[in-house]
Chain A
Amino acid sequence: MTVPLLKVDELRIALAGDVAHNAVEEVSFEIGRGEAFGLVGESGCGKSITALAVMGLLRRPLSLAGGRIALDGQEIQGASPTEWRRLRGSRIAMIFQEPMTALNPLSPVGKQIAEMFVLHQGASWSEAMDRAEEALRQVRVPSPERRIRDYPHQLSGGMRQRVMIAIALACGPDLLIADEPTTALDVTVQSEIIDLMAELCAAKGTAILMISHDLGLVANMCRRVAVMYAGRIVESQPAGAIFATPRHPYTQGLVDSLPRLGERAKRGRQRLREISGVVPSIASYPAGCRFNPRCFAATDICRSTPPAQTPLPANGLVRCHHHG
């Protein structure tokens, strides 16, 4: 059996404060070489901090409190800062939601891309600049020879995100983590960026960990999807299955609550199925199953006992006492 590229096992991230809380608990998933994996959830569910943990970027008051992260079989959760610096950029790369804050506003974009080659591959600056221009061409920025001298504020949102992708993929990392990369972009630009990412990663054999609140986006791009709620993974299935046959009431609620194109023509306007209540804050996670106050299927056991993971076919899992 092949070793997965990334294996996250029983990850626990603690949030320090007056009372210590676990922001993320018992999170386990695997990403195979070249595979696109989606992590879906709403704000505050812990998906972004999970990504930061995989990159070794957790800072006080967040800290890794348990679990293992293995890259190609080698454990990295306890790596030293020097080792992390070598990993980041060359083996794991990340792109963020707001390219304007992730790019250095005082440095031309070409230079920011070229830095990757200089730092990780020992290239000379002139060689690196040439390769930077080529990288811009690969992410389909028009007139790359002129764009390398532009500053981030001179580019549009979509362009900046392309630059971020170029920086991230410059050294051919094994894994690209994308945290809500298109949320701040217009719909038509969004779909182009997603297509670009999928294409480039497929060509280079880079695996993708796609983090988003947009179910549709993730289902279209990824082979497998995990849904997080209040710091835990509540369901994980292949992309097709998770939307056709969601097993956790939260996933079912999410899928049902979104108006779908074409539904109204077929069945008239139906009242959208609501998920009542609000997303709990980390200081007030409910006892037992964290989704129970909002769950249409909740019973006594749900209010007292956190559900265990039930395995599903095709390496899936669901965490519910009454999974469908």
Chain B
Amino acid sequence: MADTLLSLDDLAVHFTVGSALAGGIKTLKAVEGISLDVKPGECLGLVGESGCGKSTLALAIMGLIAPTRGRVALNGSDVKQRPRLETARTVQMVFQDPYASLNPRQTVRRTLADPLRLQGMGDKAEVDGRVMDMLAKVGLRPEHADRYPHEFSGGQRQRIGIARALILKPKLVICDEPVSALDVSIRAQIINLLLELKDEMGLSYIMISHDLGVVEHVSDRVAVMYLGRIVEQGGWQEIFENPRHPYTRALIAAIPDPFHRVDAAASRTKAKGEIASALNPPSGCPFHPRCPIKAERCVSELPALEAVAPGHRAACHFRDRTV
């Protein structure tokens, strides 16, 4: 069995917000107590809505934000200690907004070639070769190399973004909502592309998405985040067929599925109200104000992330309930 590619150990990222003069200094616990592993060739689906901390988590994994507590380890060694150029060869990212993720003043060729040159690849022919190779892999043509981003559609720009992420042949790619900003009819193209490339290049993915259909389709394992914490994690089938956290159930119930009109039983698992602010998280279990099965215990006691089955953990006092 190969060793772990990425290992997060009790990771926390806190921000101090506000000033002593105006309203006082508050701590924003964007990410709190996250421990998880990603193995080579695996796809981890990270699910959560706004404010859950998934973007902050991505930045911390990339080494762009220093964690307040805990450790991010790539191939066993702490990300903080590695030189930036080395981390760049290991972890990369695909961004959500194809319209903001490419430098409008650079041709595609430069966007793809510069990172190679930065790594020390001097031979022009070699650099060009890699660039053309990558363009072909993402389904673009050689003549696209000398064009500017505004000459491409959203789907094509996302392909360029994927090419840029993969040009250094990383091991782990964090995909942050890679298809949410695209037209529905091209989402399938991009998802298929990502999966093909994963197999072809032996990559691991962390697929961040709020779209459960996409997450179920691509993930091997799934982690559900709420207000900075993981509330449930496990294999994809377990999570979707046997969700043990009320928030996971609520997410599943909230999906408008054209084939199953939501029935009364499912609607009982829906979440109420609004997502709380991470600046002022509720006491005890962060989900309790919206939880359909909340009890007194939930208001005061934070549930631990504990196993309900091998490889399946949930942070709920009622994790053993099946509905």
Q: Which residues of A contact B (CB under 8 A)?
A: 42-43, 142, 156, 158-159, 186-192, 194-195, 213-217, 219-221, 239, 243-244, 250, 253-255, 257-265, 269, 271-276, 278-279, 294
Contact = CB atoms under 8 A, between A and B. Distances in A.
B217 A264 contact: yes
B123 interface: no
A158, A254, A261 — which one has the most chain B CB atoms within 10 A of its CB?
A: A261
Nearest to B155: A278
Contact of A278 (B153, B210, B250, B274): B153
Q: Interface SS of chain B: helix, strand, loop or mixed?
A: helix
B256 A275 contact: no
Given A219-B256, A261-B212, A272 B274 contact: no
Contacts of B272: 192
Query: In this complex, which of B191, B274, B275 has the most chain A Cβ atoms within 10 angstroms of its Cβ?
Result: B274
B240 A261 contact: yes
B271 interface: yes
A271 B198 CA distance: 14
B279 interface: no
A244 B258 CA distance: 9
B284 interface: no
A259 B183 contact: no
A192 B186 contact: no
Contacts of A156: 274-275
Nearest to A269: B217
Contact of B254 (A158, A188, A219): A188
B46 to A, nearest CB: 14
Interface of B: 49-50, 153, 155-156, 183-189, 191-192, 195, 210, 212-214, 216-217, 236-237, 240-241, 250-259, 261-262, 267, 270-275, 290
A254 B185 CA distance: 6
B245 to A, nearest CB: 13
B225 to A, nearest CB: 13
B91 to A, nearest CB: 25
Given A188-B275, A265-B241, A278-B156, 7 more contacts: A216-B256, A221-B256, A257-B185, A260-B213, A275-B189, A276-B189, A294-B185
Contacts of B258: 215-216, 219-220, 239, 243, 255
What's the dominant secondary structure at chain A's contact region? helix
A92 B147 CA distance: 46
B185 A253 contact: yes
A215 B213 CA distance: 13
A274 B213 CA distance: 16
B191 A42 contact: no
B184 A190 contact: no
A187 B210 contact: yes
Contacts of A269: 195, 217
Contacts of A244: 259
B192 A272 contact: yes
Given A265-B240, A278-B155, A243 B259 contact: yes
Given A216-B257, A265-B240, A186 B217 contact: no
Nearest to A240: B261
A214 B183 CA distance: 10
Contacts of B49: 186-189
A274 B270 contact: no
- Of all A-B residue pairs in the complex, the 10 with the closest CB atoms, nearest first, are A259-B217, A257-B188, A216-B256, A191-B254, A186-B49, A219-B258, A272-B188, A243-B258, A217-B256, A259-B213
A12 B270 CA distance: 42
Contacts of A192: 270-273
